[in-house]
Amino acid sequence: MDITNKLKEITEPAVGPVMDMLSGLVLDGVAGAIVPGVGNLILSYKQQRTEKNLEMFISQIVARQNEFNERLNRLDPDRLQKITNHYFGIVTDYVLAVRQKDKINFIVNGYINLSDFQEFNDDAVIMYYDTLDQLTMVDIAVLKSHHINYRGDSANREFLEQLMRGQQRLINEKLERLGLFSSENQRKMDENVKNIGVYLQEVQKGKKNPNLKYSKVWGSDSYRLTDYGRKFLEFFMNEYQSEEVQE
């Protein structure tokens, strides 16, 4: 069975706006256009992965169609068209390229949660999904371990126990580079530089016995979620939380 027929079978139970959205993908033959090599007797590994990704993505949307349709039916026509057409295409691009299939769950969560956002634009959507694209499942597990809602998640803790020696430090540094974590040592160093500037100004002004404030930077570092890291997690989790979660 080729990809188009498989998707027709998967989408058969779909109703409402979700059916309208998916029918263009399947019935109009778009699936054959976006999955290179469909119809060939021998598909490359990448093509097979792309097919499986698309099947899983569509299956998850259909499985959650009641929830999704409820949200979509609350939208005005322009917003509905934007979500089910424009953003559906953008999100599908990420689905086709994902290397770890478990990440498709997060992609679907973000897409469904997107329908609840009144103010969102292409740059913001792409920024969120570009960031997700750079993360592995273990990166996400480390990120979740710093959110108050997931610190007691035993499954997440067990997943983190698989980390090799030194891997956590590399992941922390990666999450910091992506703007999801902030470093306590970096905060101290920035504060020290600022304090040195204040000290030198006082010396230049001739102040007697100026005081140089200094915070000791330890060999080991600690990290915390940035505002972006917190919003990123909440966007890609099962339910968007409009209220800020305090650490």
Q: Do residues 159 and 187 share a domain?
A: yes
Q: What is the mean pLDDT of residues 163-172?
A: 85
Q: Considering the domain boundaries, does residue 123 fall inside one?
A: no
- Domain span holding position 9: 3-118
Q: Do residues 14 and 88 share a domain?
A: yes
Q: What is the per-residue pLDDT for 199?
A: 59
Tokens of residue 210, six digits: 């100026």
For residue 235, the SS3 value is helix
Confidence of residue 29 (pLDDT cuts 50, 70, 90): low
Q: Do residues 51 and 108 share a domain?
A: yes
Q: What is the per-residue pLDDT for 190?
A: 60
pLDDT at 175 over 90: yes
Domain count of the chain?
2
**Main-chain phi, psi angles of 224, to 5 degrees:** -145, 160
Q: Considering the domain boundaries, does residue 171 fall inside one?
A: yes
Residue 73 burial (CB count, 10 A): 11
Q: Do residues 74 and 104 share a domain?
A: yes
Q: What is the mean pLDDT of residues 89-112?
A: 94
pLDDT at 100 over 80: yes
Question: Which stretch, 88-97, 117-126, 158-167, has highest mean pLDDT?
Answer: 88-97
Q: Do residues 74 and 102 share a domain?
A: yes
Q: Do residues 145 and 234 share a domain?
A: yes
Q: What is the mean pLDDT of residues 168-180?
A: 92
Q: Considering the domain boundaries, does residue 129 fall inside one?
A: no
More confidently predicted of 106 and 1:
106
Whether the Cβ atoms of residue 132 and residue 229 lie closer than 8 Å to each other: no
Q: Do residues 138 and 225 share a domain?
A: yes
More confidently predicted of 109 and 164:
109
Q: Considering the domain boundaries, does residue 39 fall inside one?
A: yes
Q: What is the per-residue pLDDT for 41?
A: 37
